[in-house]
Amino acid sequence: MSGAGNETGVIGPGAPAVELVEISKRFPGVLANDKVNLAVNHGEVHCLLGENGAGKSTLISILSGMQRPDSGSIKIDGETARIKSPRDALKIGIGTVYQHSTLIPALTVLENLMLGQSRRILLDKGRARRRMEEIAAMLGIDVDSEARTGDLALGRQQQVEIISALWKGSRVLVLDEPTSMLTPQGVEELQKVLLELKQRGTAIIFITHKLHEALAVSDRITILRRGRTVGLLSKEELTGSTPEEIQAKIVRLMFGEEATALEGAAELQTRLADVEKLAVRNAPPRSGDSTGDIVLQLKSVTAHGDGLEPGISDVSLEVRAGEILGVAGIDGNGQRALAEVISGQRRPRAGTIELFGAPVHRHGVSARQKLGLRYVTDDRIGEGIVRSLSVSINLFLKRIGEEPFWNKGRIVPARINAESEKLVREYDIRTPGLASRSGTLSGGNIQKLLLARELSFDPKVVVFHKPTYGLDVRTTENVRATIRRLVARGAAAVLISTDLDELLELSGEIVVLSRGRLVGTVENGRDAAERIGELMIGDTRTTEVVA
């Protein structure tokens, strides 16, 4: 195990930098990895593609030392390496950038970097700064070491994470869904950094759900399904065939042969193709016309945020029946405050909220719920469900004490179970049983549970907060179809999302939230993505130049 010796990692491309051989990992009840093979060369971007639960995260957590495989081996430059902890992985030069930021917002960039690296009692700031500048120069990026990370845009924060991952050497860089939080401009910058690293011989493992991204950045693609390697697309295959052929092939591999037999598989494939081309360009079906009655109206609403999450100030918007109003913005720009102020979880400091023309801003969650207002939270596991309670109770959490499921305060299990069974079937929630603890469900099924709960009993206005975040393609399509069906029935929806593609696919009108304010409205159509992107970074860009 030669560690820090290979800091620059400039080795001729071609030799496999890292090789995972026959990796198996079993969790109780699940075979997460079943003899998975993965070889990544120096100077290569290798994409790992697969549905949720395909075993991608398990595989990289083994590579980064968070988990240990039950069997199989990891070879670094042809030599078997023993990676027992994240520290071991870093020493060998395997750096990982996780989907969610691991930086501490209150600390400066340099402090964050030293936090993970220094084991000495005395901190050596000078040395750390030199190392930081060395890596930044190598990547061709410019970072202020004294800036508080909490003040940086997410793209910048990610760059800091990449520097941190490369601290001990740049042999292998693992990126877990790195683009999910970025603006289109941020994605471009990331691609530049990846190109730079590639030329220096770093092996890059890139994990994503998004097909078009995988095709854009990767040299080779490995596809996982149900814990197994089911396909490896070589560079020749990727460049040799038409995009349509590749997509068809990937979809087949990701979802199995049965995917083609599945009802609506053809539609699924066209959907994927649409996403690739940014569906909007062919003018999407507008979600209803904007002549419906105004059902939800916010007038100059101001509310506090909590902690580092900003609040919202002076937000006014109106939503009409049969419409999906999109709210775009980079994560952490007041989305949570907006969603909660509408749902009633947060009291506004100023302004009024009207539902069907009647003020509701003094009402609590359950009063608004009874009026037909629903909220599908983005924090599914954190606040959406109670993991220790059963699936059926979780389906009824928002109706505790209500007739006919409670009779004068006494629970009527038979009615709850009968209704739950119906909902489980209707929303295709995959659960071992109604009495199973909801915490044992997968992320996609938890989201289906939340949808079932919020969309049952006549919803009229529904706030969706990042409804497809972290879901696989199939569940994503499923959720989007549900939203479309909902507004087709005449309900209204507010779709708060950080996924531009999603907004462009579903919404007719998109407002942009930046630093807690609505900075503009964009009609969906040609160039909508670019205009939204500009509004999103509009006032953050200026501050970053200063920083």
Question: Which one of 5, 28, 307, 404 is in contact with other proteins (CB under 8 A)?
Answer: 28
d(CA 91, CA 172): 11
Question: Which one of 432, 488, 539, 541 is in contact with other proteins (CB under 8 A)?
Answer: 432
Alpha-carbon dihedral 264, 265, 266, 270, rounded to 10 degrees: 100
Distance of CA 119 to the CA centre of its chain: 33
Closer residue to other proteins, CB minimum distance, 383 or 527 = 383
**226 makes contact with other proteins (CB under 8 A):** yes
d(CA 171, CA 15): 12
Sheet holding 492-496, edge to edge: 373-376, 461-465, 492-496, 324-328, 509-514, 517-523
Question: Which one of 14, 15, 27, 418 is in contact with other proteins (CB under 8 A)?
Answer: 27
95 in helix, strand or coil?
Answer: strand
Stretch touching other proteins by CB under 8 A, among 37-45, 272-280, 299-307, 395-403: 395-403
Closer residue to other proteins, CB minimum distance, 62 or 506 = 62
Cα–Cα nearest to 532, from 502, 517, 510: 510
Smallest gap from Cβ 146 to other proteins, in A, equals 30
**384 makes contact with other proteins (CB under 8 A):** yes
Question: In terms of DSSP bridges, do strands 79-81 and 71-76 run parallel, antiparallel, or are they unpaired?
Answer: antiparallel
Q: Within 10 Å of residue 487's Cβ, how many Cβ atoms?
A: 21
Smallest gap from Cβ 144 to other proteins, in A, equals 30
Q: Are 65 and 49 in contact (CB under 8 A)?
A: no
Q: What tokens appear for 319 in the block?
A: 């939503």
Smallest gap from Cβ 432 to other proteins, in A, equals 5
**57 makes contact with other proteins (CB under 8 A):** yes
Amino acid sitting at position 544: E
Smallest gap from Cβ 116 to other proteins, in A, equals 17
**107 makes contact with other proteins (CB under 8 A):** no
Tell me which DSSP letter residue 50 carries: -
Q: What tokens appear for 451 in the block?
A: 């949808």
Q: Are 287 and 324 in contact (CB under 8 A)?
A: yes
Stretch touching other proteins by CB under 8 A, among 148-156, 273-281, 399-407, 517-525: 399-407
**52 makes contact with other proteins (CB under 8 A):** yes
**102 makes contact with other proteins (CB under 8 A):** no
**5 makes contact with other proteins (CB under 8 A):** no
Footprint of other proteins on residues 324-363 (CB under 8 A)? 344-345
**382 makes contact with other proteins (CB under 8 A):** yes
d(CA 104, CA 96): 17
Closer residue to other proteins, CB minimum distance, 123 or 481 = 481
Could you please report the per-residue DSSP string of 345-364? SS--SEEEEEETTEE-TTS-
Q: Are 74 and 80 in contact (CB under 8 A)?
A: yes
Residues composing the chain: 547
Could you please report the per-residue DSSP string of 136-180? HHHHT----TTSBGGGS-HHHHHHHHHHHHTTT--SEEEEESTTT
**227 makes contact with other proteins (CB under 8 A):** yes
Stretch touching other proteins by CB under 8 A, among 21-29, 106-114, 255-263, 278-286: 21-29
Smallest gap from Cβ 424 to other proteins, in A, equals 6
**387 makes contact with other proteins (CB under 8 A):** yes
Question: Which one of 106, 435, 481, 488 is in contact with other proteins (CB under 8 A)?
Answer: 435
Closer residue to other proteins, CB minimum distance, 297 or 431 = 431
Stretch touching other proteins by CB under 8 A, among 14-22, 197-205, 267-275, 392-400: 392-400
Q: Within 10 Å of residue 547's Cβ, how many Cβ atoms?
A: 16
Tokens 């907006």 correspond to 338
Smallest gap from Cβ 48 to other proteins, in A, equals 13
**174 makes contact with other proteins (CB under 8 A):** no
Question: Which one of 18, 40, 54, 519 is in contact with other proteins (CB under 8 A)?
Answer: 54
Residues near other proteins (CB under 8 A)? 27-32, 51-58, 61, 66-67, 99, 226-227, 344-345, 364-366, 369, 375, 377, 379, 381-389, 393, 397-398, 400-401, 406, 409-411, 421, 424-425, 428-437, 439-443, 445
